[in-house]
Chains A and B, each alone.
Chain A
Amino acid sequence: MADERHSVFRKLYKKLVALYPKPFRERFGESMMQTFDDLCREGNSYIFMQWLLAETLFAAARENMLSINSRNIMKNITAPPTAALISFVLVLPLGLMFLIFLSEIEPLITGTKYFLTTDGQQVNMLGRVIMLGGMLALPVAFVWNLIPVVRTARLEGKLFVHTANLMLVVAILLLIAATWGGLALETVSCGMGISCD
């Protein structure tokens, strides 16, 4: 009976040890299991073993929290694939809308207008959010994607290491020119009294 209980506790404890960050687990995992076996052989009470499991759970959570420091987060989110993915997600709504209107594919234009405008003329709230949010997200995506490119260029002196990031940087720059540039031209022309749509 005691062996059976030990076996159940050991399985649970092993699962809790697996919750620790990998470097910690690799360094102390085996020692933790040995210590647990020693405590079981000692014949500790049921309540003590339960406390031990709870304590290990809290300690695992704490170690995970400590392993995520700000430097790690910054390093991870500006890693070339992550930066490319985040930039792509940020650019996607406005980029997609831009492509649809540029390509003039009829069913898609009608569908987009249905969701983003009222009566096909006035831009509705969702349309405004996508337009404004998308336009604000463009410079953020541009800088985010540029960080790994600039970092590698400074460290290794090579510009074309992260090709995907570089292509995205160029694409985002074109999109910025088209949207912000278009808006600026429209404002200037309206200000000059040429045309105000």
Chain B
Amino acid sequence: MNKQTPLTPAVFHILLALSTGERHGYGIMKEVEADSQGKVRMGAGTLYGSLKRMLDAGLVVESDKRSDSDRSDRSDMPESGDTRRIYYRITGTGEQALAEELDRLRHLVTITKERELLPKTFAYGG
């Protein structure tokens, strides 16, 4: 078991957001919101505090500062936000920590299924 796990919810969501590609701070916030179907909105304080600790732990690395216009995919950018930004990328250690956390969560879901703790799915009109 990696010493990084269990991950805090913020770290888990950030790693999950970065698993599909490198992003800047705002991009991570939007991806976290999308991944959680709008249930998790991360503030900038939590985001950058977590990023600092993740950088120190080697879970993520900073990419070079660059302009948003350098990216072909700008779907996560609001209009006229074209400034040079630092992008963050998940590392091998980060991917391993995420995989271990997902494994831990999968194991918990299996237990809850075995104990019949998961909410029942209702079928209407039957």
With CB as the reference atom, state the residue of chain B lying closest to A58. B45
Note all chain B residues with C-beta closer than 8 A to A169. none
Q: What string of 1s and 0s marks CB contacts (under 8 Å) between B42-85 and chain A?
A: 01111111011000000000000000000000000111110101
Q: Chain A nearest CB: distance from B55 CB in Å?
A: 9
Within 8 A of B (CB), among A60-113: 60, 62-63
> Which of A1-9, A36-44, A156-164, A175-183 has 4 or more CB atoms under 8 Å from chain B?
A36-44
> Which residues of chain A are near B24, meaning CB under 8 Å?
31, 34-35
Q: How far is the CA of A56 from the CA of B43 in the complex (A)?
A: 7
CA–CA, A41 to B46, complex, Å? 20
B-side contacts of A154, CB under 8 Å: none
Contact with A along B5-29 (1 / 0, CB 8 A): 0000000000000000000111001
B86 at the interface (CB under 8 A from A): yes
Verify B44–A52 contact, CB threshold 8 A.
Answer: yes
Query: Would you call A140 an interface residue if the criterion is a C-beta within 8 Å of the partner chain's C-beta atoms?
Result: no
- Inside 8 A of B48's CB, which chain A residues have their CB? 24, 28, 31-32, 35, 59
Smallest Cβ-Cβ distance to B42: which chain A residue: A55
Contact of B25 among A32, A48, A56, A57 (CB under 8 A): A32
Given known pairs A28-B51, A35-B26, the reply for A52 and B78 (CB within 8 Å) is no
Contact residues, A10-56 vs B (CB, 8 A): 24, 27-28, 31-32, 34-39, 41-42, 48, 51-52, 55-56
Q: What DSSP secondary structure best describes chain A's contact surface? A: helix
With a cutoff of 8 Å between Cβ atoms, the chain B residues found around residue A60 in the complex are: 45
CB contacts (< 8 Å) of B49 on chain A: these are 59, 62-63
Residue positions of B touching A, CB distance < 8 A: 24-26, 29, 41, 43-49, 51-52, 77-81, 83, 85-86
Say which residue of A31, A34, A42, A55 sits within 8 Å of B46 (CB atoms). Answer: A55
- Complex contacts, B41 vs chain A, CB 8 Å: 48
User: Is A37 a contact of B81 with CB atoms below 8 Å?
Assistant: yes
9 nearest CB pairs, A to B? A59-B45, A55-B43, A38-B26, A41-B78, A35-B25, A56-B45, A28-B48, A35-B26, A42-B78
Q: How far is the CB of B45 from chain A (nearest CB, A)?
A: 2
With A27-B52, A28-B52 as given contacts, are A35 and B47 in contact (CB-CB < 8 Å)?
yes
CA of A62 to CA of B79 in the docked complex: distance in angstroms?
33
- 6 A-B pairs within 8 Å (CB atoms) are namely A31-B48, A34-B24, A35-B24, A35-B44, A39-B44, A48-B41
* Closest-CB distance, B114 to chain A (whole angstroms): 38
- B24 to A: closest C-beta gap in Å: 7
- Among A27, A48, A51, which residue has the most Cβ atoms of chain B within 10 A? A27
Task: Give the residue name and chain of the B residue nearest to A27 (CB).
Answer: B52
Asked whether, in the complex, the Cβ of B43 is within 8 Å of the Cβ of A52, the reply is yes
Residues of B within 8 Å of A42, CB to CB, are 78
B52 touches A34 (CB 8 A): no
| 5 other A-B residue contacts (CB within 8 Å) besides A35-B26, A35-B44, A63-B49 | A27-B52, A28-B48, A31-B86, A34-B25, A59-B45
Q: Indicate if the CB atoms of A41 and B79 lie closer than 8 Å.
A: yes
